[in-house]
Amino acid sequence: MTDNCRFAVFGVLAGAFALAGCGADAGGESASQTKEALTVSCDIGLSYSGGTWKEKAFANVNSACPSTTTFGFGDPSDIPIMFDNNEIATYGTTASGDRLGRFFIDRDRSRGWNTGDTFTRFMPSPLTTDQPFVMKLVPKHLVGSTCQGPSGLQIAVSVVGVKRGSTWYIDGNNNGTWDGTSQCDITGSFGTASDIPTPIGGMIGSSGGISGSSLVWNFDADGSLNWSGAPPDYSLTAFGTDTMRPFSDASSQTMGAQNGADVYLDKNGDLVWSGTPTDIGVSGYLTSSSWRFVGWWTNTIVQ
Ligand SMILES: [Ca+2]
Ligand SMILES: [Ca+2]
Ligand SMILES: [Ca+2]
Ligand SMILES: [Ca+2]
């Protein structure tokens, strides 16, 4: 699937989009071949409420796209997180069950807790006010450091972290625990204490609302892990209002905002609301505001 293809064919309803025929492979060259290969891309969102996840295509306009499925993963009090493409995780917020500060990661993408999945407490003394996140660790975060990162760090690696106040603690050596900067974990100061962490790809970022106005999105575009002013960092107000809940999905490099049961995604990644169908906006995508939108992935189906 090419990007041109990905954005080429859309429906006319707000938020609805169709990729039927997109990526069609010319396939056979003779009439004797009875079936041509056809790939269909289905953009699928993940949402969470009280320990139950829902996986649902944004607009099931192609019958090949999977229908809505639900499954259990995590504790009702957990915070849901997109760990990597199509890989989910939760973060414990309660001392009950010794969950506080632990990341629970569905490593095998089975949508259930089983052998091979992992859980680890990141901060040794977690606070109930800690805000968990997942981001991509990229080489620029280790510039000037003697640390090489996980396996030499040639490509972006998803790592966990916690924002405590305005301080960011990032698992730079990717072992699931905070070991201090002497052990190649990394830290920075970015945003305000009340900001919600919204990293995109390898950029840390945070968002908060201005009462009666817009969401303010700040991103560490220069990779210093600290606010450097804009430019070189970004401070943006062109996506969402203060009544919405901002979120990001580091793996899909997408930010978005949830307004009750409605979901808005910056699908084209330009950090502003571009309107549908370039971005995704689906009214009533969630069955109620008790559901929390977490992230999304693209499932390519070969028919
Ligand atoms: Ca699993
Ligand atoms: Ca570590
Ligand atoms: Ca910066
Ligand atoms: Ca956009």
What is the per-residue pLDDT across 80-128, written as a single tens digit (0 to 9) for each?
A: 999 998 999 999 999 999 999 999 999 999 999 999 999 999 999 999 9
Which DSSP category does 179 fall into?
A: -
Element (H, E) at 34: none
**Which amino acid is it at 101?**
G
| Distance (Å) from CA 46 to ligand 4 centroid | 20
What is the Å distance from ligand 1's center to 172 Cα?
Answer: 24
Q: Which ligand is nearest to the CA of 203?
A: 3
What token pair was written down for 50?
């009280």
For residue 212, name the pLDDT band (cuts at 50, 70, 90). confident
What CATH number belongs to 3-302? 2.115.10.10
CA of 49 to the centre of ligand 1 (A): 18
- 221-264, pLDDT tens digit by residue? 998 999 999 999 999 999 999 999 999 999 888 999 999 999 99
User: Which ligand has the minimum distance to the alpha carbon of residue 161?
Assistant: 2
pLDDT surpassing 60 at residue 276: yes
β-strand 52-57 against 167-170: which pairing, if any?
unpaired
Closest-CA residue to 217 (of 80, 82, 230): 230
Q: Could you give the count of Cα atoms lying within 13 Å of 68 in the half-sphere of its Cβ?
A: 11
Among 249, 260, 258, 255, CA closest to 289: 260
**Which pLDDT score, from 0 to 100, does residue 15 have?**
32
The reported pLDDT for the residue numbered 65 is 85
Gap from CA of 87 to ligand 1 centroid (Å): 9
pLDDT recorded at residue 137: 87
Neighbours of ion ligand 1 (CB under 5 A): 106, 108, 110, 114, 117
pTM of the predicted model as reported, rounded to 2 decimal places = 0.84
